[in-house]
Amino acid sequence: MSSGNTELGQTNGNRWKIAVLSGGDSDERSISLKSGQAVVAALSQRGHFVLPVDPAVVPLKGMDWNGFDVVFIALHGRFGEDGEVQSLLEESGIPYTGSNAEASRIAFDKRLAKAAFEKEGVPTPRWRELSGNETAEALTTHAGQIGWPLVIKPASQGSSLGVTIVQDRDQLYPAYCRARHYDSSILMEAAIIGSEWTVGLLDDEILPPICVQTDREFFDWTAKYEDDATRYLLDEPLSVSSRGKLEAACRQARRALGVSGLSRVDLMLDQQGDPHVLEINTVPGLTDHSLVPKAAGRLGMTLGELCEETIRRTLARRPRRPHLLRRTAFSVRPGV
């Protein structure tokens, strides 16, 4: 895997000055801090000057970015994946990794993403949007239209927070209340029976697909970040037809939302081997439990090399705009 004439792992002698954004004040702060720490360590080992910046501690608005070549976004959740920090960085003129503000906003809001998938013909489970004040009777009516089993999830949340697989009517309202804790807009979605897959992408280049297996009901927060018994299968056999459909669906989903750079598509393969895209994560996790680094590792890429490749593509696609960079009285100290 390469970018232009630069082979993977080569920086042509460049040593970048990189600000790594992680932490923040979203519900995913703890995971974001771990992603940020992993990125800082990996890029530092590659010889770059790397500065961790936590927006919950250091306000980004008005920050002087002149000393940096690029900002690496490792912020999960709100103000990381929803387009807000991307808009701020765009206004500041500093290159940043990942998708632009509009694509980030759409991907983070599952209502907008699902609507875009349907418009562009991306295979995705049938769904409907719920408000924050649905009655138990109304939920039952909606469920009859979707069918059992089904999934209740917040419209704007990551890391499977607030997600419940609902098997029957008795579980429906409690699942709705749990999702409502995280967002006033809720999605009800058909549950696909089959195998769960996650696929990392660098733009349109597909990393090795991973089949996720857990003894829990589904790949929830605990299975993702705490359960060492969760299995990540990089050699799970797929027919030529199913693999082709899976890869095509991932690329189609990425293009439908305008996602760029490093991303991750989560999807199900049903019992016939057909894909159903669940969502796209525009700032995939980079912790020791995260799946994109595992997939890259199968290609022989270290986390540092993966981050470098992400930065190279960023700098080629999104150059600095010096006329927007501004100096302020704010200064950044290493270790912030």
pLDDT in tens, 148-196: 999 999 887 665 678 899 999 999 999 999 998 888 889 999 999 999 9
Q: Note the pLDDT of residue 21.
A: 98
247 among known catalytic residues: no
Q: Indicate if the pLDDT at residue 144 is higher than 60.
A: yes
Q: Is the Cβ–Cβ distance between 42 and 303 less than 8 Å?
A: yes
All structural domains of the chain with their residue ranges: 2-98+303-317, 106-123+193-282, 127-190
Q: Hey, what CATH topology would domain 2-98+303-317 get?
A: Rossmann fold (3.40.50)
Bigger pLDDT: 122 vs 27: 122
Q: Find where tokens 């525009």 sit.
A: 282
Give the total residue count for the chain: 336
Nearest one of 66, 63, 86, 90 to 75, comparing CA atoms:
86
Q: Catalytic: which of 279, 305, 308, 309?
A: 279
Nearest one of 178, 187, 182 to 114, comparing CA atoms:
187
User: What gap in Å lies between CA 113 and CA 105, rounded to an integer?
Assistant: 9
Q: Note the pLDDT of residue 36.
A: 97
Q: Catalytic: which of 36, 98, 158, 285?
A: 285
Contacts of 81 by beta carbon, 8 Å cutoff, 6+ apart: 75, 104, 107, 108, 158, 281, 282, 283
Q: Catalytic: which of 159, 242, 260, 290?
A: 159
Q: Note the pLDDT of residue 213.
A: 84
Reported as a single tens digit per residue, the pLDDT across 57-66 is 999 988 889 9
CATH 3.40.80.10 matches 106-123+193-282 = no
Q: What is the arithmetic mean of pLDDT over 214-220?
A: 63
264 among known catalytic residues: yes
Q: Note the pLDDT of residue 42.
A: 97
176 among known catalytic residues: no
Q: Which helix (H) or strand (E) holds 37?
A: helix 29-45
| Tokens describing residue 185 | 């807009």
**Of the options 3.90.870.10, 1.10.10.1200, 3.30.1490.20, 3.40.718.10, the CATH number for the domain spanning 127-190:** 3.30.1490.20
266 among known catalytic residues: yes
Triad 182, 187, 188: Cα angle to 5°: 130
Q: Note the pLDDT of residue 329.
A: 36
First vs last C-alpha separation in the chain? 34
Q: Is the Cβ–Cβ distance between 201 and 207 less than 8 Å?
A: yes
169 among known catalytic residues: no
Q: Is the Cβ–Cβ distance between 39 and 304 less than 8 Å?
A: no
| Tokens describing residue 127 | 């769904």
Bigger pLDDT: 205 vs 221: 205
285 among known catalytic residues: yes
Q: What is the arithmetic mean of pLDDT over 309-324?
A: 89
Question: For residue 257, what are the CA distances in angstroms to 120, 122, 183, 204?
Answer: 9, 11, 22, 13
Q: Indicate if the pLDDT at residue 221 is higher than 80.
A: no
Q: Catalytic: which of 96, 176, 182, 225?
A: 225
Q: Note the pLDDT of residue 75.
A: 96
Task: Report the 3 state secondary structure along 301-313.
Answer: CCHHHHHHHHHHH
Q: Catalytic: which of 266, 305, 308, 309?
A: 266
Q: Of the ranges 111-115, 136-140, 303-307, 330-334, which one carries the lowest mean pLDDT score? A: 330-334
User: What gap in Å lies between CA 210 and CA 43, rounded to an integer?
Assistant: 25
Reported as a single tens digit per residue, the pLDDT across 77-95 is 889 999 999 999 999 999 9
